[in-house]
Amino acid sequence: MKTLPQLLQQNLIMDPERITLHLLNTDTKRSISYKELILGASGYCQALMAAGIEKGDVVVIILQHGLDLMYAFWGCILLGAVPSIMPFLTEKLSPESYRKSLTSLISVTKPAAIITYPEFMPEVRIAIQAEAGVRALLNSAQVAPLSELNLEALPGLTCSPQELALLQHSSGTTGLQKGVALSHQAVLHQIESYAEAIRMTCADTVISWLPLYHDMGLIAGFVMPILLRSPLVLMSPFDWVRAPYKLLQAVTEYQGTLSWLPNFAYNFCAKKIRERDLEGVDLASWRAVINCSEPMRWQSHQMFLERFAPYGLKPSALATCYAMAENVFAVTQGGLLEPVRVDEVDPGAFQSGRAVNNSENHRSIKMLSAGRPIGNTEVRVLTEGRIDAPERHIGEIAIRSNCMLTGYYNREDLTEKAFFQGWYLTGDLGYLADGELYVTGRKKEIIIVGGKNIYPQDLEELASEVPGVHPGRVVAFGIFNADIGTEDICITLETDRTAAEERRQIAALVRDHVTRNSDIAVRYVEVVDRAWLIKTSSGKIARNANRDKFLRLRFPGEAETVETKAR
């Protein structure tokens, strides 16, 4: 069994001049060979060593999407340190809120070092004041690539496969306090099984715009292609969102074969790209466009195919995947060898937890299969009583594999709760049919917007801070929007104020406050009277019941269709 630094070293020895990475910026392109990557990474490795950072130490990286981030990540790996990439501050985020997030992360993860830009160092200094554990604050501007390779000097080469390779976090106060710790062995087992499932080789070219602080971007769109010697074409998520056509132009220019996209991106590309930007686009080389990281919709695949088939997109390229950071990345894979299965289920039976195949009903729900488990990964669906649910019965998805997380970093409490008799309880709901997995929803209360996991309690806490909002009488939830292929965020809150103007002001303030202090933009803010919100028998606000009530209030008459969509 090898480790990440050993594989990287092997790739270097095999062909140092081979291009591993094409980095596309707004108006510049740079191609990086394995040799350049390792020289750049070695610069970070050396700087960290000089600052007293050792093998096994956690290093938080706060850099924008670019070469420095990539060098810093691999620099940690070459040192045998454990990198954790934190999303960089965006323009709209208030500095106070970012500081709070940073404090959240640091308080649990207790990193030994933080790497960031000089201009951001004062901000980080304030956040780490309370934490004595941070031994080094590294200025990325003072780190330069080495000019000569010295592989013997890289301590990471002596890591054992069981040692930690990296940490992955999801966003928000809650997510940042829950770092998924992954060993070298877990990452490499995942890459081995997943590459086999999608038949990925060094002849593939990966095109990605995904951020590296997310499992899909970090593993499928970064670590895997670099270790497998598949050229990687990477653009920034900020560039892509303004110019989604650039993804298709990159597939054309680099003969891209593989991409991973969250579901909303299918809608976004299909609807928001202008014809003039598709001139010369040829997607014939694209052998798999893999839908992953948020609920997958048949309609999204259809609209993507209809729009881009004239540009060479093959129907067989549409693929699906069920993945999570706790399994490094992929759990199941659909498509590629045969078309993704579509299961038409009866909406009535579906409500009561059974997926009854019924293509006769014109209102049947078209479920996209997430496919079969990848190698060395097992999937079960459990009932409430935690026994195997019968075929086509909806229950909680549990998994077991040779690439599971070591644990939530410094959170033994959460790690213990997450497992049941050696099986990881995903918190996702789904059913099995003919050996394929269909993911239907979530048991855990998470909102997934554009592939990003958002904890509703973080948003509710923020909304409660706004004057006029009755603290604790706030609920946040997602509503699926078929147009955009992902969820819209809604916040419903109670107030004692009755004047319409005052209520409008509260709504505006809540929208602004939540937006400035979280990773998302709020779509709906609904101000309601006291005692409007439904509570559970234990006195907690019931999110799902209140979502249904909101839908009936806001979309009367359409409630049924909206609810179907919302699921």
Partner 1 sequence: MVDQIMAYISTELLKDPTRQIREDEPLISSGLIDSFGLVDLALFIEDTFGIRIEDVELTSSVFDTTSELAQLISKKLPSSTP
Which residues of the chain form contacts with partner 1 (CB under 8 A)? Answer: 26-27, 90-93, 238-239, 241-244, 268, 272, 274, 450, 484, 504, 507-508, 511-512, 515-516, 520-521, 523-525
Nearest approach, Cβ of residue 527 and partner 1 (Å): 11
Nearest approach, Cβ of residue 366 and partner 1 (Å): 25
- Annotate 267-292 with b (16+ C-beta within 10 A) or e (fewer): bbbbeebeeeebeebbbebbbbbbbb
- The residue (of 90 and 201) whose beta carbon lies closer to partner 1 is 90
Nearest approach, Cβ of residue 471 and partner 1 (Å): 23
Report whether 343 contacts 330 (CB < 8 A): no
- The residue (of 379 and 566) whose beta carbon lies closer to partner 1 is 566
- The residue (of 182 and 489) whose beta carbon lies closer to partner 1 is 489
SS3 417: helix
Nearest approach, Cβ of residue 91 and partner 1 (Å): 5
What would the two tokens of residue 493 be? 């809150």
- Annotate 438-458 with b (16+ C-beta within 10 A) or e (fewer): bbbebeeebbbbbbbbbbbeb
- The residue (of 123 and 512) whose beta carbon lies closer to partner 1 is 512
If you search the block for the tokens 């900020």, which residue do you land on? 238
- The residue (of 344 and 512) whose beta carbon lies closer to partner 1 is 512
- The residue (of 243 and 382) whose beta carbon lies closer to partner 1 is 243
Nearest approach, Cβ of residue 512 and partner 1 (Å): 7
Report whether 328 contacts 215 (CB < 8 A): yes
- The residue (of 27 and 148) whose beta carbon lies closer to partner 1 is 27
| Segment holding 438, helix H or strand E | strand 436-442
Nearest approach, Cβ of residue 370 and partner 1 (Å): 25
d(CA 4, CA 8): 6
- The residue (of 15 and 277) whose beta carbon lies closer to partner 1 is 277
- The residue (of 244 and 373) whose beta carbon lies closer to partner 1 is 244
Task: List beta partners, residue 137.
Answer: 114
d(CA 390, CA 117): 54
- Count of Cβ atoms closer than 10 Å to residue 375 Cβ: 16
- The residue (of 8 and 551) whose beta carbon lies closer to partner 1 is 551
- The residue (of 26 and 536) whose beta carbon lies closer to partner 1 is 26
Q: What's the order of all strands across the beta sheet hosting 524-528?
A: 469-481, 486-495, 524-528
Nearest approach, Cβ of residue 238 and partner 1 (Å): 7
Question: What are 549-557's contacts with CB under 8 Å, separation 24+?
Answer: 550/477, 550/479, 550/490, 550/492, 550/524, 550/526, 551/479, 553/526, 554/524, 554/526
Nearest approach, Cβ of residue 188 and partner 1 (Å): 35
d(CA 89, CA 74): 22
Nearest approach, Cβ of residue 323 and partner 1 (Å): 23
What would the two tokens of residue 211 be? 């951020």
Task: List beta partners, residue 305.
Answer: none
- Give the closest residue to 301 by CA, choosing from 333, 264, 330, 275: 264
d(CA 288, CA 181): 29
Q: How far is CA 566 from CA 358, 455, 479, 510, 548, in A?
A: 20, 18, 5, 23, 9
- The residue (of 417 and 504) whose beta carbon lies closer to partner 1 is 504
Report whether 408 contacts 415 (CB < 8 A): yes
Nearest approach, Cβ of residue 264 and partner 1 (Å): 8
Q: Is 539 left (phi over 0), alpha (psi -120 to 50) or beta?
A: left
Phi then psi for residue 423, to 5 deg, are: -105, 135
Nearest approach, Cβ of residue 393 and partner 1 (Å): 36
- The residue (of 245 and 329) whose beta carbon lies closer to partner 1 is 245
Nearest approach, Cβ of residue 255 and partner 1 (Å): 24
Nearest approach, Cβ of residue 308 and partner 1 (Å): 18
Phi then psi for residue 8, to 5 deg, are: -65, -45
